Amino acid sequence: MLNKNAHLVENLFDSNITKKPTRDGFGSGVVEAGRANSNVVVLCADLSESTRAQWFEKEFPERFVEVGIAEQNMAALAAGFFAAGKVPFIASYAAFNPGRNYEQIRTTIALNESNVKVCGMHAGVSVGPDGATHQMLEDLGLMRMLPHMTVINPADAIEAHKAVIAAAAMTGPVYLRFARSASPVFTTDETPFEIGKALTLWESEKPQVAILATGPMSYRAVTAASALESEGIGSIVLNIHTIKPLDNKAVIEAARRTGNVITVEEHQAAGGFGSAIAELLVREYPVPMRIMGIQDVFGQSGEPDELLEYYGLGAPHIKDVARAFLEKH
Amino acid sequence: MHNVATLRGIILSKNHIYMHPTDQDIIVLEKKAEEIRETIIEMLVAAGSGHTAGSLDMADIFTALYFHILKHDPNNPEWEERDRLILSNGHIVPVRYATMAHAGYFPVKECLTLRKFGSRLQGHPERLRLPGLENTSGPLGEGLSQAAGIAYANIMDGKKNRIFVCMGDGEQDEGNVWEAVMFAGKYALSSITAIIDRNNIQIDGMTEDIMPLESLRAKYEAFNWHVIEVNGHDIAEFIMATEEARAIYEKPVLILAHTIAGKGIPEIEFDYHWHGKPPTKDEARHFLKELRSANGRVPNEYA
């Protein structure tokens, strides 16, 4: 059953549900953050249109800094802006930010506890035709391993908007992940959002499996839950936008109530969101688990949905994995 | 009156009215540099590891910075009006620690905790562990970027603070450096005075054998920088160069400081093997004797 307190859209499962890329939520969110705090600055590495940093540039041209195609410089520059009292957001594709500039982020932002917000765009295979070089699948792992770093992967454009504002309001380094392709906007302005707090999307009366999802995969997870329900399988679905710090209580509770956990992410299955959940549960409440993600391969060119289908990340896949998983136990 | 750094004959006021150093001032500064070199040797021996050559060869410049050039306050490291000193080549931090201690940031005897468990004096500097450090560094090539971020933000806020950044010459191999050089050139970040310790050595050998850097002057000038070359062991010349840099308002400035690796101890001067190792106790006893026998004046045959 849908969690009413999540205040999701009315037409949740309609094919005409509005779709937008989560990067739009970055664009609108950072403008609002800029209005709230005149110290917010945005640095961009020659990708202002596609990252939506341009939306900020239009409103606050004097607080937008073009750094050219130089992501390493961008990260270390941001540490300097922080040292002078600014709240810098640095935007580029996740393959380069944090892919290219990992060490600058590690030393000058994470170790240095700089109040810098690292924004990785075009993450995951859903980048589509650009192919494997641009389909970042290791960013969540890289960023969640860093002490001091908060890691957020918003589920849709509205949640992305809220996440950016919340990241600007908190002190400390944050990594935010965004996607290029449009995905269903299934949360609303009323949907609760708090960094570090999981959002229950679905909760059956007798849940047998917990599906924990992050990013736009959360919509696919709730779609799978609805299909499972009609086949007589109850579930709990959590949208876990904050991978670090994890909502330990919500995750352990879901594992305790179901005894079976599936995680879903558009990221390498190794080292990312599923690993974070496994690390928690193996310590606190070990249960059988399946980690759905990219299985140790690079992506390739194709259309976003075609690729997600190919790599086994469609809603029907989640349903099938859940069924097969439960049959085994 | 906000006394920021005191040494006989030199009191930097809050307004930081520039005083050309007198001959007497220079003698006092040279004596101070010698004491700092001694502290560096003592702390490296106590640590049992660390970078000798660069730490010694930058002693004159760090002395000039902390005891004459910088607007700073050891009792108030977060002072809003302070000049910033970014250390990009973090491995030479013993010279910064030693100079900060002599300038009054912390007791000189704490220098002997360098690299020890629980020490604020980490092997490579961490801003959050020791007040007065402006940045965390060690991985090379990132200091100029941070200086540029501060300089750009200060322009946005109408602040006039000067930003100094020390880099190594081997460090110029790093691509990140040139991204920052290009950025600072584009935005004409004239509040930046960068200093390259041109000692010609890096870990594996001489810089021009490992990866030729010359002409550094032509390279920086091509990126819209103003370049001044100095003898990095001539304190008066270095101070004059920073004054010239202050007067250059349309470009960032590079002071290319020609130094002798391991300066002050003839046995190790020019020898790249001393980039990353400390002296043994016996060597240190000998080195300290050499430093002290210079009769209050660091050998200056380079000049």
Q: Is B78 on the interface with A (CB under 8 A)?
A: no
Q: Distance between CA atoms of A227 and B61, rounded to whole angstroms?
A: 71
Q: Distance between CA atoms of B281 and B217, rounded to whole angstroms?
A: 40
A73–B183: do the CB atoms touch at under 8 Å? yes
DSSP assignment letter at B54: H
Q: Is B150 on the interface with A (CB under 8 A)?
A: yes
Indicate if the pLDDT at residue B11 is higher than 90.
no
Percent of chain B residues topping a pLDDT of 90: 87
Chain A residues with CB-CB distance to B180 below 8 A: 73, 76-77
Chain B residues with CB-CB distance to A41 below 8 A: 153, 156
Chain A residues with CB-CB distance to B154 below 8 A: 84
- Enumerate chain A positions whose Cβ falls within 8 A of a Cβ in B: 41, 62-63, 65, 67-68, 70, 72-73, 75-86, 88, 103-104, 107-108, 111-113
Residue-level pLDDT at B301: 46
Please list the active-site residues of A: 71
DSSP assignment letter at B130: S
Taking each helix axis as running N to C, give the angle between helix B23-47 and helix B281-292, from 0 to 180 degrees, rounded to the nearest 10: 170
Range(s) for CATH 3.40.50.920 in chain A? 4-16+192-328
Q: Distance between CA atoms of A104 and B135, rounded to whole angstroms?
A: 12
B149–A80: do the CB atoms touch at under 8 Å? yes
- Paired residues of A43 in beta bridges: A65, A90
Q: Is the distance from CB of B129 to CB of B122 less than 8 angstroms?
A: yes
B137–A68: do the CB atoms touch at under 8 Å? no
Q: Is B129 on the interface with A (CB under 8 A)?
A: no
Interface test with chain A among B91, B144, B156, B224, by most A beta carbons within 10 Å: B156
Task: Fill in the amino acid letter for B292.
Answer: R
pLDDT band at B83 (very low <50, low <70, confident <90, very high): very high
Residue-level pLDDT at A328: 83
Interface test with chain A among B122, B124, B128, B136, by most A beta carbons within 10 Å: B136
Which run of H or E residues covers position A280? helix A273-284
Q: Identify the closest residue of chain B to A108 by CA–CA distance.
A: B136
Residue-level pLDDT at A161: 98
pLDDT, tens only, B200-241:
999 999 999 999 999 999 999 999 999 999 999 999 999 999
Mean pLDDT of B33-45: 97
Nearest Cβ partner of B146 from A62, A67, A80?
A: A80
pTM summary value: 0.94
Nearest Cβ partner of B142 from A41, A67, A107?
A: A107
Residue-level pLDDT at B212: 98
Q: Identify the closest residue of chain A to B147 by CA–CA distance.
A: A80
Indicate if the pLDDT at residue B265 is higher than 50.
yes
Q: Identify the closest residue of chain A to B90 by CA–CA distance.
A: A107
Measured at the CA of A292, the angle between CA A210 and CA A229, to 5 degrees, comes to: 40
Range(s) for CATH 3.40.50.970 in chain A? 19-184
Chain B residues with CB-CB distance to A88 below 8 A: 149
A83–B150: do the CB atoms touch at under 8 Å? yes
pLDDT band at B293 (very low <50, low <70, confident <90, very high): confident
Both tokens of A276, joined, read 């974070």
Helix H segments across chain B? 23-47, 53-57, 59-64, 93-103, 143-157, 175-186, 207-210, 216-222, 235-247, 281-292
- Residue B246: name the closest of B196, B181, B190 by CA: B190
Q: Is the distance from CB of B134 to CB of B164 less than 8 angstroms?
A: no
Q: Distance between CA atoms of B215 and B204, rounded to whole angstroms?
A: 20
Nearest Cβ partner of B134 from A65, A77, A83?
A: A83
Give all domains of chain B, ordered by start, each with its CATH number.
6-292 (3.40.50.970)
Residue-level pLDDT at B16: 52
pLDDT band at B17 (very low <50, low <70, confident <90, very high): low
Q: Provide the CATH number for the domain formed by A19-184 in this structure.
A: 3.40.50.970
Low-confidence residues of chain A: pLDDT under 50: none
CATH 3.40.50.920 fits A4-16+192-328, yes or no: yes
Residue-level pLDDT at B166: 98
Residue-level pLDDT at A264: 98
DSSP for A87-144?
EEEEEEETTTTTTT-HHHIIIIIIITT---EEEEESBSGGG-TT-GGG-B-SHHHHHH
Taking each helix axis as running N to C, give the angle between helix B175-186 and helix B143-157, from 0 to 180 degrees, rounded to the nearest 10: 20
Q: Is B192 on the interface with A (CB under 8 A)?
A: no
Shortest Cα distance, chain B CAs vs residue A112, angstroms:
6
Residue-level pLDDT at A62: 98
Residue-level pLDDT at B191: 98
Q: Distance between CA atoms of B228 and A321, rounded to whole angstroms?
A: 67
Q: Is the distance from CB of A253 to CB of A303 less than 8 angstroms?
A: no
**Ranges assigned E (strand) in chain A:** 19-20, 40-44, 64-66, 87-93, 117-121, 150-152, 174-177, 183-184, 199-203, 209-213, 235-239, 242-244, 261-268, 289-294
Q: Distance between CA atoms of B7 and B22, rounded to whole angstroms?
A: 13
